[in-house]
Amino acid sequence: MRSTLEGLAHDGTARPLLVALDFDGTLAPLQDDPSLSRMLPDAVAPLRTLVEAPGVSLALVSGRALHDLHALAEGPVGTYLIGSHGAERARVMRHGLDRDVVQLTDEQADRLATLGARAAEIARGRDGVWVESKPTAVVVHTRLAEHDDARDAESKALALGDELGSGVLHGKDVVEISVLRASKGEALRALRDELGARVVVYAGDDVTDEHAFAALTEHDVTIKVGAGDTVARLRAADPHELVDALVALAAALPT
Ligand SMILES: [Mg+2]
């Protein structure tokens, strides 16, 4: 995995190069309380090097709402941010975010409000189950719930998603019900096309990252972080191993 990334640094034909990275579980070790997630400190310098290197672009991709990703991930100026599993996008500028605005139709806005109320009913009375509101989705979180409560809440949330959602994502301890059809894969493909990237590197740890892996080609570099089935070609054991490889990639880039 590390030698593949170093090889890309020396390969002049692999430009423009887009390096796209999931945040939680990929650059930041998973936390029970998602508000405590922080990027590994060793990732800061290589990300800055990548964003400043000629012919190289950097994107951080997350299921988190965009404002949340921006606040936690501290992407350097020039970084593209893809939030809400692809439903929101922005670029980090010197004075804030240059943001693509999401516009919901009246029907979608009504459906989002109903989804929020129904999801709150699912969480009510279940310790450790909570609901997050995003601009285009509601998310039922079960990470802190007992096993039976978590499974029950997730199956009810999946049923609610079938009834009212346009897209449903079942990740680690989360069910996200969106009123838009979006995926990390579609968002990544759109960004690649805009940048004309010849090679894309994508690393992620969760089932939702499989959409992104599947959207790439055999000439791209796909890296699954952690255990579990995947369509990615390469694997990093954990965020530390991935960040070590990013350090090696950054160090190998021509200056
Ligand atoms: Mg993740």
CB 50 within 8 A of CB 19: yes
Instruction: Give residue 25 CA to ligand 1 midpoint distance, Å.
Output: 4
pLDDT digits (tens, 9 = 90+) for 130-184: 999 998 999 999 999 999 999 999 999 999 999 999 989 898 899 999 998 888 9
d(CA 1, CA 53): 21
CB 23 within 8 A of CB 73: yes
Q: Which homologous superfamily is 2-102+183-252 in?
A: HAD superfamily/HAD-like (3.40.50.1000)
Q: List the strands of the sheet with 96-100, edge to edge.
A: 96-100, 88-93, 80-83, 56-61, 17-22, 199-204, 221-225, 234-236
The residue written with tokens 């887009």 in the block is 18
Q: Is the dihedral of CA 11, 12, 15, 17 positive or negative?
A: positive
Distance 208 CA to ligand 1 centre (A): 8
CA of 30 to the centre of ligand 1 (A): 8
The confidence score (pLDDT) of residue 29 equals: 96
Domain ranges of the chain: 2-102+183-252, 106-178
How far, in Å, is the centroid of ligand 1 from the Cα of 124? 27
- pLDDT by residue (tens digit) across 189-215? 999 999 999 999 999 999 989 999 999
CATH superfamily of 106-178: Trehalose-6-phosphate phosphatase related protein; domain 2 (3.30.70.1020)
- What's the CA-to-centroid distance between 216 and ligand 1, angstroms? 18
Using DSSP bridges, classify how beta strands 234-236 and 199-204 pair: parallel, antiparallel or unpaired: unpaired
